[in-house]
Amino acid sequence: MKPIKVAVVGDYDPVFPPQATLGTALRHAAAVLDLEVTETWIPTETLAKPNSSPMLQDFDGIFGGPGDVHELEGTLQGIRFARENDKPYFGTCAGFQYAVIEFARNVLKIADATSAEFDPSAPRLMLTPFACNIAGEKMTVNIQPNSLAHDLYGNNVAVEEYFCHFGINPLYRNAFIEAGMQISGTDQDGEPRIFELPTHPFFLASLFVPQTSSTPAKPHPLISGFLAVCAVIASKNGLTTALHRNAPKF
């Protein structure tokens, strides 16, 4: 099989662990799946240009990179392209935040939706600070049944590492769920840590950074699941049938 091509939407910082480990984690998963994978970082400034998002069409999947970005609009354009064109999408850390904002702006039609990380005084904050900073901490995540996340983990709990301290604003949680978002992972207080879109072939985002815990002997199951669906999509020449419940278990 030809290499699976993954576009990483973000601005690369080699000293930021969640970014520096991303490519290696993809290759850990690819090796176990007997695949080859290549990742290409797509700068957000590139995607902020008019009519630039179709350049993502040639990729088999889109990874929402963690970390700060130069152009928020470029990131949102990349995520919107994945959501609307059935491209597998996996976002971690900031890739979770950006996916929440994109969903709010383009599905809930909240044009000025943003995060407190960017503008704490903005009137419509989809993401707000945690009560305490959990960056660098490893914490338990409760995985909800009847979800893609549960299918992939094969377990009800996981321990994951965080580099982020902003989460979904409770004021908007029900609106997101009513619009089709599934909260499939929560912390000990029930606060969202993973969300997914059940009608999409693979659209999942985590506030934690699974790439930092991946090893050659134990690739992370969410990354493995993402690549497995990318491979199916690639082999079917752009298959658009939702694979939510049929994603391989790891």
Q: Residue 203's beta-bridge partner residues?
A: 89
Q: What would the 3-class secondary structure string for 127-158 be?
A: EEECCCCCCCCEEEEEECCCCHHHHHHCCCEE
Runs of H (alpha helix) within 154-220: 173-178
What's the distance, CA 117 to chain centroid? 18
In a structure prediction context, what are the per-residue pLDDT tens digits for the chain, which is 250 residues long? 678 999 999 998 888 888 888 999 999 999 999 999 999 999 999 999 988 888 999 999 999 988 888 899 999 999 999 999 999 999 999 999 999 999 999 999 999 999 999 899 999 999 999 866 666 678 999 999 999 999 999 999 999 999 888 999 999 999 999 999 999 999 988 999 999 999 999 999 999 999 998 999 999 999 999 999 999 988 875 433 333 444 444 4
Contact (Cβ atoms closer than 8 angstroms) between residue 246 and residue 16 = no
Q: Shortest CA distance to 233 belongs to which of 224, 242, 222?
A: 242
The CA distance from 118 to 220, in Å, is 30
Structure tokens at 194: 């993973």
The CA distance from 173 to 232, in Å, is 32
Contact (Cβ atoms closer than 8 angstroms) between residue 157 and residue 184 = no
pTM here is 0.91
The CA distance from 231 to 82, in Å, is 16
Q: Torsion angle of alpha carbons 40, 69, 105, 7, nearest 10°?
A: 0
Tokens 């009800």 belong to 156
DSSP label at residue 217:
S
**Helix axes of 72-84 and 94-106: crossing angle, nearest 10 degrees:** 70
Q: What's the pLDDT at 249?
A: 45
Q: What's the pLDDT at 132?
A: 64
Q: What is the CATH number of domain 4-246?
A: 3.40.50.880
